[in-house]
Structure 1
Amino acid sequence: MSNSIVLPRMMEVGRDACKQLPVMLEALQVERPLIVTDAMMVQLGYVEQVQSILSAAGVEADVFADTVPEPTDTSIEAGVARVRDGDYDGIIALGGGSPIDSAKAIAILGKFGGKIGDYRFPRQVNESGLPIIAIPTTAGTGSEATRFTIITDEASNEKLLCVGMGFMPVAAIIDYGLTMTVPARTTADTGIDAMTHAIEAYVSQKRNAYSDQQALAALGLIGPNLQKAYHDGRDEPAREAMMLGSTLAGIAFCNSSVALVHGMSRPIGAFFHVPHGLSNAMLLPAVTEFSIPAAPERYADCARALGVAGHQDSTATANEKLVQFLKALNEELSVPTLAEFGVEQAGFEQLVETMCEQAFASGSPNNNPRVPSKEEMLELYRSMWAAA
């Protein structure tokens, strides 16, 4: 049995990789790009930095900086209109996962029209929108190397998963220098997101030999460096390792899949506006403990790749150490409970069955090594609350 592997056509990796952006645009025959980003990237000076690099090469780029965290169908409308009414031949997506996900949707809708719900999974969106050059500024989502985007439908408060080659950036610039000023909270949330991508890709029922290698390599980079980057954001080797680990984890789950953590995480973000990486972190220890009996050897491999268990450890011991590590990591990185985040239990209980329905509808839980029943998922959600 063969597996289809999907990657960006071009990647530039390393410190100051951004300086190669004009060369990349020329190779892709993009002459009039639109930078899609957010207000923080403008405030931090990253947009000006990119425009200066382009201007020195004779390329002028307009800016759309109105993307928002956890993008919605209405938040991308202005960007879609900008592309539809402009004469742009490419998009530079600059920022964390939210601007890149927004750019992916804008590139498709701006060219083909309709609404994002028309493109939701299980539809495979293989049409080519405007070419996207993705420049991530966080080490977490891996969106620069995936064929997915997630946009919330505001009317239903449902995160819509959209899948297909049309959402894969044609190029990615992996410049860890852009992450040196990322705050500790964001470093933690995005770092655990990347770890979750790698673990879920490795244990997924859709895994393959290629995705396995990317996932294990990602875990080998993330395990020894996440806490270092969290405690000291100026630790350059740690930032470099986390940035590459994030991209490899993105490649891994793009060519395998995510699983139960992500399936359960999306409704938490949609209903309670918990950042995606943070809701993953809240769920990861409990879901891992639930799933281990169905794939003990796989989870033990993850523990060893992370460096929290040794090759001399038995499978059972490695898995015990993995669960202990994930719980301790959340404590060290100050991951709040839902209650500490500000979610009211009454509101949670009103929505928890709907959250289960949306989680199953995404398809991700069915990729898990242990597929929960509705009752088991409800118990997982409620145990997450009870942990408060």
Structure 2
Amino acid sequence: MTPFVFNTTHCILFRFGAAKEIARHAGVLLGPKVLVVTDPGLRRAGLADPAVGALAAAGHEVTVFDQIEADPSVATVIATVDAGRGAGVTGVIGFGGGSSLDVAKVASLLLGTDQTLDEAWGIGNARGPRLPLVLVPTTAGTGSEVTPVAILTVGGAEKRGISSAILLPDIALLDAELTLSLPASITAATGVDAMVHAIEAYASANANNNPLSRLLAREALRLLGANIETAVMDGTNGPAREAMLLGAMLAGQAFANSPVAAVHALAYPLGGLFHIPHGLSNALVLTSVLRFNLPLAAATYAEIAADAFPHLAEVPDEARALAFVAALEALIGRLQMPRRLRDLNIPADALPRMAADAMKQQRLLVNNPRPVTEADALAIYTEAW
């Protein structure tokens, strides 16, 4: 068997309503002064209030930094660290979507070490130590609560990552109650994002693609495929919400160890240049990338097709991969998501720059089942346009 490494979050707490009990579950770990990292929308909605209140009631001094934007910038990270340093915090909570969780990861690192951000970029360069860290996702998509990766926006457009096991939190607290109020459009986009994580992890050309990641990816697709439409159409359905949250986490564990590839690499310019949410960016290029990969990955996609779409088990092996791509296209349509780049007012003359920018994501492109050149990226974007 090929050697591999599998890292994941030390403790995973999965319980409906668990966020209200965060002081009991994580208070000793976090210490007396806690920094809560979240975004303005969640703060206005009061979603974090029960957790913040529980911490305060337990005697913790809580500082809330609620200015995390989509595609968070380096300046936002620095402001978060300044807030934490000014308060002398002893622990960090990330509360929200992937952006808040990623900023919390980096803030816990920079608050706990003398290492600079410039020294931490890339794979395996963040050495720590970091402050105690608890991550509480409020969307079922990124899986950031179990991944060693944080993605930031540099210079207004470029996506740059830090990847190191030191960024894995001490506790991932998954509370599906927090996702009940998630709008249908965000539920759809984040759910497809999680499916992309599972698909790319399973098919990854990375040397660390391993049996555990493949097992988790398949279970993630089973949960996500069976529940995404229910969660989108009936957001108050608790069992569907729990299944989506668990599926997204399992997909996160899979790609944290068997990394994602060209779908993500080509999605990043959409977020960096046009500020399209990450999940939607992935959905917009997903099927075009999979079609590009079919000459080398058809057998792999055929293996997982029926996990997401059980009816595909009846399709002959040689036709199942193409049917899988078609089923994903049909699902995106039923979820009423934008289908084409032009639906988001992306001009055709922007495609060459996007292709050039995608080539900067070599840490992801090397994991793709089929090598991607800049000309290939442009052709994929053109098909998706």
Alignment deviations for residues 228-277 of structure 1 (CA, whole Å, 9 cap, x no partner): 11111112211111010001110110011111101111122101111110
- In structure 2, distance between residues paired with 1:297 and 1:378: 25
Deviation (angstroms), 1:364? 0.7
8 Å Cα contact 1:308-1:322 kept in structure 2: no
Give structure 1 regions of 4+ aligned residues with deviation exceeding 4 angstroms. none
Alignment deviations for residues 60-104 of structure 1 (CA, whole Å, 9 cap, x no partner): 322111111110111222111112233111101100111111111
- Which residue of the other structure, out of 339, 343, 346, is the alignment partner of 1:343? 346
Residue 384 (str. 1) matches residue 364 (str. 2) = no
Alignment deviations for residues 28-66 of structure 1 (CA, whole Å, 9 cap, x no partner): 252321111111111111221112222333333221111
- In structure 2, distance between residues paired with 1:377 and 1:187: 28
- In structure 1, distance between residues paired with 2:55 and 2:83: 20
Q: Is the alpha carbon distance of 1:334 and 1:113 closer, same or farther for their aligned partners in structure 2, counting shifts above 3 Å? A: farther
Q: Is the alpha carbon distance of 1:303 and 1:4 closer, same or farther for their aligned partners in structure 2, counting shifts above 3 Å? A: same
- In structure 1, distance between residues paired with 2:321 and 2:169: 36
Q: Equivalent residue for 1:269?
A: 271
8 Å Cα contact 1:309-1:318 kept in structure 2: no
Q: Which amino acid counterpart does residue 176 of structure 2 have in structure 1?
A: Y
- Which residue of the other structure, out of 223, 226, 231, is the alignment partner of 1:229? 231
Q: Equivalent residue for 1:248?
A: 250
Q: Which amino acid counterpart does residue 166 of structure 2 have in structure 1?
A: G
8 Å Cα contact 1:308-1:321 kept in structure 2: no
- In structure 2, distance between residues paired with 1:321 and 1:237: 28
Deviation (angstroms), 1:210? 0.7
Which piece of structure 1 moves more, 76-85 or 52-61?
Answer: 52-61
Q: Equivalent residue for 2:36?
A: 35
Q: Equivalent residue for 1:197?
A: 197
- In structure 1, distance between residues paired with 2:302 and 2:205: 16
Residue 357 (str. 1) matches residue 359 (str. 2) = yes
8 Å Cα contact 1:308-1:325 kept in structure 2: no
* Number of residue pairs matched by the alignment: 381
8 Å Cα contact 2:224-2:247 kept in structure 1: yes
Which piece of structure 1 moves more, 184-193 or 368-377?
Answer: 368-377
Q: Equivalent residue for 1:95?
A: 96
Q: Which amino acid counterpart does residue 227 of structure 2 have in structure 1?
A: N
- In structure 1, distance between residues paired with 2:158 and 2:358: 12
Residue 367 (str. 1) matches residue 370 (str. 2) = no
- In structure 2, distance between residues paired with 1:77 and 1:96: 19
Deviation (angstroms), 1:317? 2.6
Extract unaligned runs of 5+ from structure 1: none
8 Å Cα contact 2:112-2:128 kept in structure 1: no
8 Å Cα contact 2:262-2:364 kept in structure 1: yes
8 Å Cα contact 1:74-1:154 kept in structure 2: no
Could you say what secondary structure the match of 1:159 adopts? strand
Deviation (angstroms), 1:108? 1.9
| Map 1:1-388 → 2, pairs under 5 A | 1-28=2-29, 30-112=31-113, 116-154=117-155, 157-206=157-206, 207-336=209-338, 337-346=340-349, 348-349=350-351, 351-360=353-362, 363-385=363-385
Q: Is the alpha carbon distance of 1:349 and 1:25 closer, same or farther for their aligned partners in structure 2, counting shifts above 3 Å? A: closer
- In structure 2, distance between residues paired with 1:354 and 1:269: 14
- In structure 2, distance between residues paired with 1:81 and 1:113: 14
Extract unaligned runs of 5+ from structure 2: none
- In structure 1, distance between residues paired with 2:375 and 2:295: 18
Q: Which amino acid counterpart does residue 366 of structure 1 have in structure 2?
A: V
Q: Which amino acid counterpart does residue 333 of structure 1 have in structure 2?
A: L
- In structure 2, distance between residues paired with 1:19 and 1:9: 21
Could you say what secondary structure the match of 1:74 adopts? helix
Q: What TM-score, normalized by structure 2, do the two folds share? A: 0.94
Deviation (angstroms), 1:329? 1.7
- In structure 2, distance between residues paired with 1:377 and 1:307: 28
Deviation (angstroms), 1:350? 5.3
8 Å Cα contact 1:268-1:355 kept in structure 2: no
- In structure 1, distance between residues paired with 2:135 and 2:308: 27
8 Å Cα contact 1:84-1:111 kept in structure 2: no
- In structure 2, distance between residues paired with 1:267 and 1:42: 28
Q: Which amino acid counterpart does residue 69 of structure 2 have in structure 1?
A: V
- In structure 1, distance between residues paired with 2:335 and 2:167: 32
